[in-house]
């Protein structure tokens, strides 16, 4: 109970899983949420519990206000939350010209509205110097011909996070955004060998990013060495996109 608490949404797989592992190593107990993939989340909890940290996975659909409300009364909230990572999200490739309002609403409800709902719900349970990192995307700045709804949701998320950073800075709280480029997660799992080689060639550092690359950046933004950084968007993409 003496360890600080980190809340990570979408923490069961990919980038979220790497963030949970890194923050547990940094000294946090981990409260992670998942929506559809319970087995990877529970396996991660077991892995973290094998170290000096504690962890717990809870099922939360961040687009569902009722489930988010339940998160707000979870017993761990009594311990207070020191750091928050908003990592949950949905992404489905769809040509921008074929985007429907239904698809747009679904993506926005999860990626953007869900983030705001989580923040609003857990805000009363934050420590005075709480820090938050929002996982955005380079697509939220440059757009995407096959993911316009995803790009729009990440753009809204980034602007909201920067606005929130300005609003709560006087309280001693910090909010920053990490915008990944190509990362070796489920989103790229359907790539052919040729497509993977093409992606690697596009990146100046000549490799696809790893979830651990993102996790180490999140760790920095939540730690004391970034104490004078808030409202920033940090692009982590191997030089692929330089806004």
pLDDT in tens, 164-215: 999 999 999 999 999 999 999 887 877 888 998 999 999 999 999 999 999 9
Structural domain boundaries, residue 17: 5-236
With respect to residue 242, please indicate whether it lies within any of the assigned structural domains: no
pLDDT of residue 57: 98
With respect to residue 166, please indicate whether it lies within any of the assigned structural domains: yes
With respect to residue 243, please indicate whether it lies within any of the assigned structural domains: no
For residues 236 and 207, the answer to whether their CB atoms sit within 8 Å is no
* Percent over 90 (pLDDT), the chain: 89
With respect to residue 80, please indicate whether it lies within any of the assigned structural domains: yes
Q: Is the pTM of this model over 0.75?
A: yes
With respect to residue 10, please indicate whether it lies within any of the assigned structural domains: yes
With respect to residue 241, please indicate whether it lies within any of the assigned structural domains: no
Residue burial 161-192, b: 16+ Cβ < 10 Å; e: rest: bbebbeebeeeebbbbbbbbbbbbbebeeeee
The domain total for the chain is 1
Residue-level length of the chain = 243
Query: pLDDT band at residue 1, thresholds of 50, 70 and 90?
Result: low
For residue 79, the domain's CATH number is 3.40.50.720
89 contact partners, CB below 8 Å, separation of at least 6: 10, 110, 111, 135, 150, 153, 154
Residue 8, pLDDT > 80, answer: yes
List 32's β-bridge partners, or say none. Answer: 8, 57
C-alpha span between 28 and 1 (Å, rounded): 10
Question: Which of 28, 34, 91, 150 is an active site residue?
Answer: 150
For residues 187 and 150, the answer to whether their CB atoms sit within 8 Å is no
For residues 120 and 73, the answer to whether their CB atoms sit within 8 Å is no
Q: Is 182 a catalytic residue?
A: no
C-alpha span between 90 and 106 (Å, rounded): 9
């Amino acid at each position: 109970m003496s360890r600080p608490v980190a809340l990570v949404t979408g923490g069961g797989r990919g980038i979220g899983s790497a963030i949970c592992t890194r923050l547990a190593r940094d000294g946090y107990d981990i409260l992670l949420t998942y929506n559809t993939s319970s087995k990877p989340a529970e396996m991660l909890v077991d892995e973290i519990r094998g170290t000096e940290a504690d962890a717990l996975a809870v099922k939360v659909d961040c687009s569902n206000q009722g489930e988010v409300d339940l998160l707000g009364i979870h017993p761990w909230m009594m311990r207070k939350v020191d750091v928050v990572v908003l990592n949950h999200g949905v992404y489905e490739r769809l040509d921008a010209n074929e985007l429907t309002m239904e698809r747009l609403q679904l993506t926005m409800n999860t990626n953007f509205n869900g983030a705001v709902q989580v923040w609003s719900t857990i805000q009363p349970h934050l420590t005075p110097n709480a820090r938050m990192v929002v996982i955005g995307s380079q697509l939220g700045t440059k757009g995407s011909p096959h993911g316009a709804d995803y790009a729009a949701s990440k753009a809204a998320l980034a602007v909201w996070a920067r606005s929130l950073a300005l609003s709560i800075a006087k309280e001693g709280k910090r909010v920053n955004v990490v915008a990944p480029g190509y990362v070796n997660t489920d989103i790229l799992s359907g790539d052919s060998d040729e497509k993977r080689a093409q992606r690697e060639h596009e990146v100046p550092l000549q490799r696809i990013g790893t979830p651990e690359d993102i996790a180490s950046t999140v760790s920095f933004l939540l730690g004391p060495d970034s104490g004078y950084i808030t409202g920033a968007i940090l692009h982590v993409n191997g030089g692929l996109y330089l806004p």
